[in-house]
Amino acid sequence: MMLSRIAESLFWIGRYIERADGTARILDVHLQLLLEDPWIEEDTACRSLLSVMGVAVDPTVPVTRGDVLSILAVDRNQPAAIAYSLQSARENARRAREVVSTELWEVLNTTRARMPRRIPGDKVHEFFGWVRERSALAVGIVETGTSRDEAWSFFTLGRSIERADMTARLLATRSLTEASGPSWTTILRSVGAYEAYLRTYRGVPSARNAAEFLLLDRLFPRSILFSVSRAEQCLRELEPGTARVGVPDSAQRLLGQIRSELEYRPISDIIDDLPARMDDVQSATSAASEAVRQRYFPTNAAPVWVGENT
Amino acid sequence: MGDLFDGYSATSTQSASRRRGAPAFDEMFDPESAVRMPYRDIHDALARMTQDELRGRTEALASSYLAQGVTFDFAGEERPFPLDAVPRVIDQSDWVDVEAGVKQRVTALEAFLADVYGAQDAVRDGVIPARLISSSSHFHREAAGVVAANGVRIQVSGIDLIRDEQGGWRVLEDNVRVPSGVSYVISNRRVMAQTLPELFVSMRVRPVGDYPQKLLHALRAAAPEGVDDPTIVVLTPGVYNSAYFEHTLLARLMGVELVEGRDLFCSGGRVFMRTTAGPTRVDVIYRRVDDEFLDPLQFRADSMLGSPGLMLAARLGNVTIANAVGNGVADDKLVYTYLPDLIRYYLGEEPKLQNVQTWRLEEPGALEEVLDRLDELVVKPVDGSGGKGLVVGPDASREQLDQLATRLRADPRGWIAQPVVQLSTIPTLVDDGMRPRHADLRPFAVNDGSDVWVLPGGLTRVALPEGQLVVNSSQGGGSKDTWVVGPDSAWANGGFGGGAGAERSVQGLVAEQASITQAIPIITPELAAQHGAAPLPAHLAEHPHDHNPEDSPRRDQQQQQQQADEGSRS
């Protein structure tokens, strides 16, 4: 039993930490690519990257690498930025301060305080590394020091949903600019999956295997299937189902549906239309997140006692 | 004297001479510049340090606070709560008197509130005028008859004390509504023990970490009749409140929920909170929201910080609101002037702590005298707290004083006047070096219905600008860790880990002071007695770490093997 408001904060701390980490990984790969490959059309590449990350930009103004860095990394007022995520994670922790452990609070608090306002060109890669380390530190503290109660379930639920979403976005960038998009090797490396992938498939990377690994591997924790299953598991822990028929919880239903779809559809079908399939995954995670909100964090309309009858 | 205290005594006399009257009492040095007894050890420890060293430590204190989020908002920027590295030291023998005085005061205030919202005997017996009570802005008729099952209205109080020119303790004001600051007492001690451990070594400082447990106990004791295991919550106005850090700290250390008004709702005369498992009954609310915002049905209708129906639930005895609603009448500054009489009336005792001399402007001749001497007095509004609206006559401009005079004539009930008291000074590290700065003390008292417990020490606030007499964190004030020190026997009965006569290591000391909850001994006294002098029970044998069997021993063998091979080859 915990306050709905606190549960919501924990869910979002999980989501924001994972989002900061995921965004840093995606940006690291793509900004590097822009530098290395002289044939890439900077404006187009940046534009597609922004659209994958859910940011709409003015179509008449050319977009540069610097813009991407500002919008997706350091701008505190951009909801898609890493800085925004880290700040929000900290604000949520502050609202749930009596439930969040002091260690976690101090990590989130100092992370926000040390967040740079601009990044010099030679420090870009270093910055993304720092974001990954801070996220790993925060998650590690939760993993080692939080009782496996509702607090942990909500945190992990938030993380898993966000992770599925982030991996879906990363996979969608593969088909961004067709030939000049990041190679599968780069994508695998960016999520720290390359070595695990090589061990699993014991061979040269093939597009089919790589996609399969990130989409459907049941053991690799960053695959979409793993993340969705983990989220489902958290939901079951929050409310152990006793229903004889079907699944009454709509968040569980939504996640179960997308999981089955990925699991049972031939992999070649998925790869053929990767952007659309990844869109489906993102819609499903976002709908599931909304269902969780409806179910566990009902917004209490703030009571207003004056001015109602005007 | 090391270079740390260079120029200290010179400035101390200088600043005092700026105002007429006796110089302030310096708590570390007597008028002959000799170190006073309670400060002797701390002075020696500090004198071994250079100014730069101490400044370095002060920065460490600040950065630790920044990381922990112990901050206050300064023009939209977060600043660490200012903590001075030099602690204030109060001798146990001196503290005993303060403690007794605070207890007496709280007991009398409880009796007064019970009377005000009950039989009103004091009015009938002519001790205090009825007009005074009914005209107090914090007197709420709605609170009549609403009281916790154990009769306590002041679960937590903060009685502000100062030391006058002779070093005597006096009460400056009473705070029995929602006194704040105790979190700083707890966190100041913790960060001091971590950053300046050597200061603690030679002194027996009474720990402050068991405050949350005392508070929890008092809140449980105040639960409605028939509730054995009450659900307690801390009610906060929210993250934007300046004391939010304190609310979270108390909720965390008591292990209870921290709720906002929107987390609560009332139904059928009972209070519930919204949880992931549905509505949960709430029995005791330690509220950090002012009376006026608590219940829109009774007080301000536009309040979003409370919950409609709270007062009804409290009146029905289904929930306890702590501190009780309407307590503000007891810390009205005009009621303060009657406190010595009220102590005699209710307790039949002489007051142990003196008030500061105060003019009641409604009494014949008082207003005229005060107006005449406005430039040498301190004038305060009766219902303010924390130095709000206060005017220090000698520091005010002619224009300010004229404005003040008009307001006093218009509303003599709304103001009191006091002579300028030179608050005692304590060495404080400022930009110029170590300098005397004025300080006050807010000891915290917790009433569980059977005993009033006074936290040893309290919050010492220092005014950082030179000569400044208003000490408040909202007005550029700093703070000091406050140490009550004294002989072991007075308080230490072996309950804090080390047994009597055990060697006190720095590490143990830091652990003792830095832990914000009371240490839980691993070996209970019973167990220790049972096993006599044996340090550990027999079954607690040493276990070497387990290792992967593939590791070190095998390497030895491999090395041997290799050497053997080499040997055979040669």
Residue B273 to residue A1, Cβ atoms within 8 A: no
Closest CA to A31 of A79, A107, A82: A82
pLDDT at B235: 96
Q: Hey, what's the torsion of the CAs at A252, A257, A259, A261, to 10 degrees?
A: 180
Q: What pLDDT band is residue B193 in, cutting at 50, 70 and 90?
A: confident
Which one of A3, A110, A303 has the shortest CB-CB distance to B308? A303
What are the backbone angles phi and psi of residue A241, rounded to the nearest 5°? -70, 135
Residue B280 to residue A1, Cβ atoms within 8 A: yes
Residues of A with CB below 8 A from B259's CB?
3
**C-alpha dist (Å) from residue B238 to A205, A300, B187, B246, B460:** 53, 15, 21, 11, 26
Closest CA to A35 of A124, A130, A118, A116: A124
Residue B66 to residue A113, Cβ atoms within 8 A: yes
Token pair in block for residue B343? 């102590």
Q: What is the 3-state secondary structure (H, E, C) of B425-449?
A: EEEEEECCEEEEEEEEEECEEEECC
Contact indicator for A233, A251 with CB cutoff of 8 Å: no
pLDDT at B519: 54
Which one of A7, A91, A306 has the shortest CB-CB distance to B276? A7
- pLDDT tens digits, one per residue of B271-303: 999 988 888 999 999 999 999 999 998 888 888
Question: Is B162's pLDDT higher than 60?
Answer: yes
Question: Is B408's pLDDT higher than 80?
Answer: yes
Give the whole-number percent of chain B exceeding pLDDT 90: 48
Residue B369 CB neighbours (<10 A) = 14
Query: In chain A, where are the structural domains located?
Result: 4-296
At B177 the three-state DSSP class reads: coil
Q: What pLDDT band is residue B570 in, cutting at 50, 70 and 90?
A: very low
For residue B380, tell me if it sits in a domain: yes
Cα–Cα distance for residue pair A239/B69, rounded to 1 Å: 35
Closest CA to B401 of B422, B361, B372: B372
Task: Please give the ipTM for the structure prediction.
Answer: 0.71
Q: Residue for token digits 């597009």? A: A207
Residue A3 to residue B275, Cβ atoms within 8 A: yes
At A298 the three-state DSSP class reads: coil
Question: Is B111's pLDDT higher than 60?
Answer: yes
Say yes or no: B266 contacts chain A, CB-CB below 8 A: no
For residue B344, tell me if it sits in a domain: no
Contact indicator for B370, B417 with CB cutoff of 8 Å: yes
**C-alpha dist (Å) from residue B7 to B1, B42, B427, B436, B478:** 11, 19, 11, 10, 21
Q: Which residue has the higher pLDDT, B176 or B17?
A: B176
Strands B169-175 and B156-163: antiparallel
For residue B99, tell me if it sits in a domain: no
pLDDT at A110: 94
Q: Which residues of chain A have pLDDT under 50?
A: 303, 305-310
pLDDT at A30: 82
H or E stretch including B380?
A: strand B377-381
From the number of C-beta atoms within 10 Å of its C-beta (0-12, 13-18, 19+), residue B342 rates as buried
Q: What pLDDT band is residue B33 in, cutting at 50, 70 and 90?
A: confident
- How far from chain centre, in Å, is Cα A293? 17
Q: Which residue has the higher pLDDT, B77 or B125?
A: B125
**CATH number for the domain that contains residue B375:** 3.30.1490.270
From the number of C-beta atoms within 10 Å of its C-beta (0-12, 13-18, 19+), residue A292 rates as buried
Smallest CA–CA distance, residue B275 to chain A, in Å, is 4
Cα–Cα distance for residue pair B184/B483, rounded to 1 Å: 14
The mean per-residue pLDDT over the stretch B445-453 comes to: 95
Strands B433-442 and B377-381: unpaired
Average pLDDT value over all residues in chain B: 84
What are the backbone angles phi and psi of residue B406, rounded to the nearest 5°? -60, -45
Amino acid at A163: R
Contact indicator for B294, B177 with CB cutoff of 8 Å: no
Residue B276 to residue A296, Cβ atoms within 8 A: yes
For residue B404, tell me if it sits in a domain: yes
pLDDT at B1: 44
Of A11-25, A243-257, B97-111, B215-229, minimum mean pLDDT range: A243-257
Q: Residue for token digits 């900077």? A: A42
The mean per-residue pLDDT over the stretch B460-484 comes to: 81
Q: Count the helices and strands in chain A (H runs, E runs).
A: 14, 0
Q: Residue for token digits 């979002």? A: A12
- pLDDT tens digits, one per residue of B478-498: 899 999 997 654 444 444 444
Has this prediction a pTM greater than 0.90?
no
Token pair in block for residue A90? 């900290």
Closest CA to A100 of A58, A160, A151: A151
Question: Is B62's pLDDT higher than 80?
Answer: yes
pLDDT at A310: 40
For residue B370, tell me if it sits in a domain: yes
Q: Which residue has the higher pLDDT, B555 or B399?
A: B399
pLDDT at B200: 84
- pLDDT tens digits, one per residue of B231-257: 999 999 988 888 889 999 999 999 999
Q: Hey, what's the torsion of the CAs at B353, B357, B360, B364, to 10 degrees?
A: 130
Q: Residue for token digits 């109602």? A: A308
pLDDT at B512: 66
Residue B122 CB neighbours (<10 A) = 21
What letter does residue B29 receive in the DSSP assignment?
A: B
Residue A192 CB neighbours (<10 A) = 13
Q: What pLDDT band is residue B503 in, cutting at 50, 70 and 90?
A: very low
Contact indicator for B420, B428 with CB cutoff of 8 Å: no
Which one of A1, A95, A304 has the shortest CB-CB distance to B277? A1
For residue B392, tell me if it sits in a domain: yes
What are the backbone angles phi and psi of residue A235, rounded to the nearest 5°? -65, -40
Q: What pLDDT band is residue B568 in, cutting at 50, 70 and 90?
A: very low
The mean per-residue pLDDT over the stretch B403-427 comes to: 90
H or E stretch including B360?
A: strand B359-360
* Domain count along chain B: 1
Residues of B with CB below 8 A from A303's CB?
262, 296, 304, 307-308
The mean per-residue pLDDT over the stretch B22-44 comes to: 89
pLDDT at B521: 56
| Touching A: B residues 205-244, CB under 8 Å | 234, 239, 244
User: Looking at the DSSP assignment, which residues form a beta bridge with residue B89?
Assistant: B483
Domain that holds residue B412: 359-420
What are the backbone angles phi and psi of residue B122, rounded to the nearest 5°? -65, -35
Residue ranges of chain A whose CB lies within 8 Å of a chain B CB? 1-7, 91, 94-95, 97-98, 102, 105-106, 109-110, 113, 150, 238, 296, 298, 300, 302-306
For residue B378, tell me if it sits in a domain: yes
